[in-house]
């Protein structure tokens, strides 16, 4: 999952999406790939990836479906733009824009109610980790965000991204074993809310924070971690593809058309 934040202009987003679309087969061969550009770039990025299996996501959403909410964007509108995912509760929004657990709960509910997959971000601050409160903080963020979501509404998958604030854009990724342990803390929090088959089938726990091509492998297949939310390293095609190549199992090169034609000729 690529979170481009506010780093790219609309044209730049479209151009990067176009470059990635050219390698879409390779990218989506072994992973679900989601691009989350900023709102104004969504239609242009959609056009670039329309013929591929790359999915589109938004970086935020409002909790009401329509009404007098100046400047806000609804899940309904995002669905019209074919967004299959929405990031909710990113720490930059919690920290810089005062998003509270209650706002995040309402946003998560709105996304799920509209059959879109939320990418719910949770993670402790530096101070919270230093004082040893990371487990309490993260478990509480998970339970608060999902408090209104009861099993009948859980028809689709929910992605939870463990993103410790101190690891985001710092170049200092969380130690994989620790990220895995926090993934387990999230699993236990989910088990307090739901039955274990539901937790197993409907949730996907991922990691985010200074992921690059060099360290991605340690987070994508490290039970319970099953993927990554990437900011900085997803902002150019080369490093994006570098990450994909680091995790996609190598397959024998596909036979080219001329090779196939030559073989068919020989048989005849």
Which active-site residues does the annotation give? 90, 163
Please tell me the count of residues contacting ligand PGA according to CB under 6 A.
13
Give the residue with the Cβ less far from ligand PGA, 90 or 105: 90
Select from 3, 59, 108, 206 the one that contacts ligand PGA (CB under 6 A). Answer: 3
Q: Which residue is it, tokens 């854009």?
A: 169
CB 100 within 8 A of CB 71: no
By CB under 6 A, tell whether 209 contacts ligand PGA: yes
Q: In angstroms, how far is CA 98 from the centroid of its own chain?
A: 21
Q: Both tokens of residue 3? A: 């979170």
What 8-state DSSP symbol labels residue 158? E
Find the binder of ligand PGA among 37, 89, 123, 208 (CB under 6 A). 208
Strand order in the sheet with 203-208: 2-3, 34-36, 55-58, 83-88, 117-122, 158-162, 203-208, 225-229
* The binder of ligand PGA chosen from 135, 163, 218, 226 (CB under 6 A): 163
Between residues 209 and 224, which has the closer beta carbon with respect to ligand PGA? 209
| Residue 217 tokens, joined | 């492998």
Minimum CB–partner distance for residue 233 and ligand PGA (Å): 6
Q: Is 230 in the site for ligand PGA (CB under 6 A)?
A: yes
Give the whole-angstrom CA distance, residue 249 versus residue 112: 32
Minimal CB distance to ligand PGA: which residue? 231
Residues in the chain: 268
Q: Please, are residues 123 and 165 in contact by the beta-carbon 8 Å criterion?
A: yes
Stretch that binds ligand PGA, among 102-110, 124-132, 231-239, 249-257 (CB under 6 A): 231-239
* Residue closer to ligand PGA (CB basis): 224 or 232: 232
Per CB under 6 A, 229 contacts ligand PGA? yes
* Residue with Cβ nearer ligand PGA (75 or 167): 167
Closer to ligand PGA by Cβ: residue 4 or 63: 4
Cα four-point dihedral sign 219, 103, 196, 135: positive
Nearest to 77 by CA among 54, 92, 61: 61
Stretch touching ligand PGA by CB under 6 A, among 41-49, 78-86, 104-112, 204-212:
204-212
Q: Is 34 in the site for ligand PGA (CB under 6 A)?
A: no
Binding mask 164-183 for ligand PGA (x = CB under 6 A): ----xx--------------
In the complex, minimum distance from the CB of residue 2 to ligand PGA, in angstroms, rounded to a whole number: 9
Residues forming a β-bridge with 88: 120
Which one of the spans 56-64, 102-110, 140-148, 161-169 is the region binding ligand PGA (CB under 6 A)? 161-169
Give residues with Cβ within 8 angstroms of 159, minimum separation 6.
Answer: 1, 85, 117, 118, 119, 120, 203, 204, 205, 206, 227
Residues of the shown chain interacting with ligand PGA in the complex, contacts defined by CB under 6 A:
3, 163, 168-169, 208-211, 229-233
């Amino acid at each position: 999952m690529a979170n481009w934040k506010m780093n790219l202009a609309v044209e730049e987003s479209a151009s990067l999406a176009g470059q990635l679309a050219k390698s879409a087969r390779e990218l989506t061969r072994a992973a679900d790939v989601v691009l989350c550009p900023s709102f104004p770039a969504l239609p242009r990025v959609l056009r670039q990836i329309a013929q591929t299996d790359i999915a589109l996501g938004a970086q935020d959403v409002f909790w009401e479906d329509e009404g007098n909410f100046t400047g806000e964007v609804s899940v309904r509108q995002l669905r019209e733009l074919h967004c299959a995912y929405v990031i909710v509760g990113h720490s930059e929004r919690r920290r810089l824009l005062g998003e509270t657990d209650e706002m995040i709960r309402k946003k998560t509910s709105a996304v799920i109610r509209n059959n879109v997959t939320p990418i719910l971000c949770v993670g402790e601050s530096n101070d919270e980790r230093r004082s040893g409160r990371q487990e309490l903080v993260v478990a509480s963020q998970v339970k608060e965000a999902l408090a209104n979501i009861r099993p009948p509404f859980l028809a689709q998958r929910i992605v939870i991204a463990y993103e410790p604030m101190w690891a985001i854009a710092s170049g200092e990724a969380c130690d994989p074993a620790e990220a895995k342990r926090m993934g387990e803390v999230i699993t236990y929090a989910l088990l307090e809310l739901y039955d274990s088959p539901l937790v197993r089938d409907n949730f996907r726990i991922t990691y985010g924070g200074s992921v690059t091509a060099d360290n991605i492998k340690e987070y994508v297949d490290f039970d319970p971690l099953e993927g990554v939310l990437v900011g900085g390293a997803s902002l150019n095609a080369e490093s994006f593809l570098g990450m994909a190549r680091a995790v996609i199992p190598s397959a024998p090169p596909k036979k080219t058309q001329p090779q196939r034609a030559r073989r068919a000729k020989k048989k005849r």
